[in-house]
């Protein structure tokens, strides 16, 4: 059974991650995109089946530009290719990003749509304050 994890919860790079990224990206033409020096990775998740990567995605932000943070590098192995896995991956990335939300209240989804995360920011912020991991904003 596949398990969705934030990469910070995974001790080492999962088996098959390179192959997954090379062969199963949703948008293969984005693989050759230049990676600017100022780009920040603000969230990263992997879907594991046993110890093998069967899904992956990340949120990046090019802080030196006017662009909003965006979901990129989404890849799903054939047997995991479904709206359920895609939506779950994107929602977990957004939840991870919302803990700090350095790039603002809007992100660009994997398909280019603009996602307003204002409600998620309020919920994630309250949970972090209650857990003691973040101070409330004044």
The average pLDDT across 40-65 equals: 92
Q: Left (φ > 0), alpha (ψ -120 to 50) or beta: where does 112 sit?
A: left
The answer to whether residue 86 scores a pLDDT higher than 90 is: yes
Q: If you write DSSP's letter for every residue of 116-136 in order, what string do you get?
A: E-HHHHHHHHHHHHHHTSSPP
- Give pLDDT, residue 134: 43
Extract the tokens encoding 2: 């596949």
d(CA 111, CA 120): 20
Which class for 68: exposed (0-12), middle (13-18), buried (19 or more C-beta within 10 A)?
A: middle
Extract the tokens encoding 31: 């693989």
27-31, 62-66, 79-83, 104-108: the lowest-pLDDT one: 27-31
Give the model's confidence band at 8: pLDDT under 50 very low, under 70 low, under 90 confident, else very high: confident
Query: Are 76 and 54 a contacting pair, CB within 8 Å?
Result: yes
Per the confidence metrics, is the pTM higher than 0.95? no
The answer to whether residue 135 scores a pLDDT higher than 50 is: no
The answer to whether residue 130 scores a pLDDT higher than 60 is: no
- CATH of span 3-131: 3.40.630
The answer to whether residue 121 scores a pLDDT higher than 80 is: no
d(CA 3, CA 50): 8
* Average pLDDT in the chain: 84
């Amino acid at each position: 059974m596949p398990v969705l994890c934030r990469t910070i919860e995974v001790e080492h790079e999962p088996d098959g991650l390179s192959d997954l990224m090379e062969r199963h990206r949703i948008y293969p033409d984005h693989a050759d995109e230049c990676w600017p020096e100022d780009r920040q990775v603000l969230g990263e998740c992997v879907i594991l089946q046993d110890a093998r990567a069967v899904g992956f995605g990340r949120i990046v932000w090019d802080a030196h530009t006017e662009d909003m943070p965006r979901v990129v590098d989404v890849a799903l192995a054939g047997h995991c290719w479904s709206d359920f896995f895609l939506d779950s991956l994107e929602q977990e990335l957004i939840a991870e990003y919302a803990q700090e939300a350095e790039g603002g209240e809007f992100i660009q989804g994997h398909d280019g749509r603009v996602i307003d995360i204002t409600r998620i920011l309020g919920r994630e912020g309250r949970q972090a304050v209650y857990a003691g991991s973040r101070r409330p904003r004044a």
